[in-house]
Amino acid sequence: NAGVTQTPKFQVLKTGQSMTLQCAQDMNHEYMSWYRQDPGMGLRLIHYSVGAGITDQGEVPNGYNVSRSTTEDFPLRLLSAAPSQTSVYFCASSKLAGAYEQYFGPGTRLTVT
Amino acid sequence: TQLLEQSPQFLSIQEGENLTVYCNSSSVFSSLQWYRQEPGEGPVLLVTVVTGGEVKKLKRLTFQFGDARKDSSLHITAAQPGDTGLYLCAGYMDSNYQLIWGAGTKLIIKP
């Protein structure tokens, strides 16, 4: 099993550009989420999904969109990149929503200039 | 303000020493998880504690959940360079169905 995969590993954007971060899992997990990780601030939840066709906002959703058309895929779209979105982004999945083990992807390091 | 406070934020010690890191809150959690994250990778689950007062051991790592389920600690005995990493705690609250994350303790073990 590949677990949780994320692409790209690194990305540099100019202010105002848009892009999509890809996330896929092959464990048939219902719950998927996107986090950003900034120094000294831990993991902050951007958006999450409890199943295909269902998404909701987390702690820091502004500037990001998600969709969940299949159980496997959960892409994160940056609509108009800003320097404040420079961060490391992690996709995670778990069997269900709640206190289950979170499986994380390897992360995407995004720099917005 | 972090709902889960981790301390210390940074710790650098010599191989063979013992250490304890803490995860504290004023809120009650139904369970608490500890993760370790190595540079360039995502966090990986070490343990989940669910009962107040529970102690779990993973080789040289000992995890404890506070009696009131508001705090937890991770004790490492005879630290090894392979223990180097960022240690994150995450608490689950039944009231909001979300994991609450601490900011992490960056641990460096020098050979």
Q: What is the pLDDT of residues A52-111, one digit of tens each?
A: 999 999 999 999 999 999 999 999 999 999 999 999 999 999 999 888 999 999 999 999
pLDDT exceeds cutoff 80 at A27:
yes
Please tell me the predicted confidence (pLDDT) of residue B2: 62
What is residue A99's predicted lDDT score, i.e. its pLDDT? 85
Residue B93's pLDDT is what? 84
pLDDT-derived band at B1 (thresholds 50, 70, 90) equals low
Q: Is-contact B79 B17, C-beta < 8 A? A: yes
Q: How many Cβ pairs closer than 8 A exist between chain A and B?
A: 52
Residue that the structure tokens 């800003």 belong to: A82
Which residues in chain A have Cβ-Cβ distances shorter than 8 Å to B33? 99, 101-102
Tens of pLDDT, residue by residue over B38-94, are 999 999 999 999 999 999 999 999 999 999 999 999 999 999 999 999 999 999 987
Nearest residue on chain A to B31, judged by CA atoms?
A99
Rounded Cα distance between A97 and B2, Å, is 22
As a dihedral over the C-alpha atoms of residue A2, residue A24, residue A77, residue B98, rounded to 10 degrees, the angle is -100
A42 dihedral zone (left: phi>0; alpha: psi -120 to 50; beta): left
pLDDT at res. A40: 79
DSSP H helical ranges for chain B: none
- Residues of chain A with Cβ-Cβ distance to B1 below 8 Å are none
Note whether B31 contacts A99, CB cutoff 8 Å: yes
Cis ω before B8 (30° cut-off from 0): yes
Q: Determine the Cα–Cα distance for residues A101 and B34; give it in Å rounded to an integer.
A: 10
- Give B-chain residues touching A92 at CB under 8 angstroms: 42
CB A27 within 8 A of CB A93: yes
Q: For the residues A19-43, what does the mean pLDDT come to?
A: 94
| DSSP-assigned letter for residue A85 | G
pLDDT grade for B95, boundaries at 50, 70 and 90: confident
Supply B34's token pair: 């500890």
